[in-house]
Amino acid sequence: MIFDFYFLYWISGIILIPGMILAIFAQIKVSSAYKKYSKTSAKSGWIAREMSEMLLERAGAGGVRVYKTGGSLTDYYNPSDKTLHLSETVHDSSSIAALAVSAHEVGHAIQDNEHYAPLKFRKVIVPIVNLGSRLAIPLAIIGLILTFFEGFGEFGEFILFIGIIAYSLTFVFALITLPVEINASNRAKRLLLQTNVLDEKEIRGASKVLSAAAWTYVASMIISLLYLLRFILVISSLRRRD
């Protein structure tokens, strides 16, 4: 049973391929948009770090500290200690791409400051998602074995159901990530225009960078959906049917 489970699980990985292709496509789109717009400086002359601090201050989130972090496209906002991390290539740059990326991270900081519901929900479910992803496969195997024992069939089915719920949490997490990301990008575009950091024409470049980044989240969401479908497929083909 355990062997069958892992064999089928491995072989059915084939259904993940379209999602992987989409993820690669999204990654290429991000890199090329970023590369293109990192060559053009904004006419306003703002540098990403100073601009981020200005936007945070303006939104009443002046308590957020901004740091420089290693790597490229590694920018993130950490809600647990209210710190904003800008990558080396973004931090001191005044390119349209750098300003777009840092304004997006400022968008997350403002979401946090305003207690934006999807972000709060995402924060709350992280430990449950982690637990679920660790328990799903053991639950599936136990449930499948139980379905083959006389008198335990129904209990086995119940365990399988819990296993599927546990597995689906990763997909739920990816699904909530989408509105959080799109909202942060929309906030970024609005802030960049309102404060004249970018003009109408430059905003179009920023939009391209941000929407390319959004595709990577769409790809992760589709991949986790395919993972879930595979999980359900493997379970339903192995479980005992009377």
Question: Rounded CA gap, 117 and 115, in Å?
Answer: 6
Q: Please, what is the minimum distance in Å from the beta carbon of residue 210 to Zn ion?
A: 9
Q: What character string, x for contact with Zn ion (CB under 5 A) and - otherwise, covers 116-155? A: ----------------------------------------
Closest to Zn ion by CB, 26 or 184: 184
Segment interacting with Zn ion (CB under 5 A) among 116-124, 168-176, 178-186, 189-197: 178-186
Segment interacting with Zn ion (CB under 5 A) among 12-20, 90-98, 175-183, 202-210: 175-183
**Count of positions on this chain that bind Zn ion (CB under 5 A):** 2
Question: Rounded CA gap, 80 and 5, in Å?
Answer: 39
Identify the active-site residue in 53, 88, 105, 150. 105
What are the CA-CA distances from residue 5 to residues 142, 155, 233 (Å)?
11, 19, 11
Q: Please, what is the minimum distance in Å from the beta carbon of residue 197 to Zn ion?
A: 18
- 112 φ/ψ sector (left φ>0, alpha ψ -120 to 50, else beta): alpha
Q: Please, what is the minimum distance in Å from the beta carbon of residue 175 to Zn ion?
A: 15
Segment interacting with Zn ion (CB under 5 A) among 5-13, 63-71, 174-182, 228-236: 174-182
What are the CA-CA distances from residue 2 to residues 7, 149, 199, 235 (Å)?
9, 15, 60, 12
> Is 200 tagged catalytic?
no
Query: Which residue is associated with the tokens 């939009």?
Result: 207
What are the CA-CA distances from residue 53 to residues 40, 160, 185, 214 (Å)?
22, 50, 17, 24
What's the start-to-end Cα distance of the chain, in Å? 17
Question: Would you tell me which residues interact with Zn ion (CB under 5 A)?
Answer: 181, 184
Which residues are tagged catalytic?
A: 105
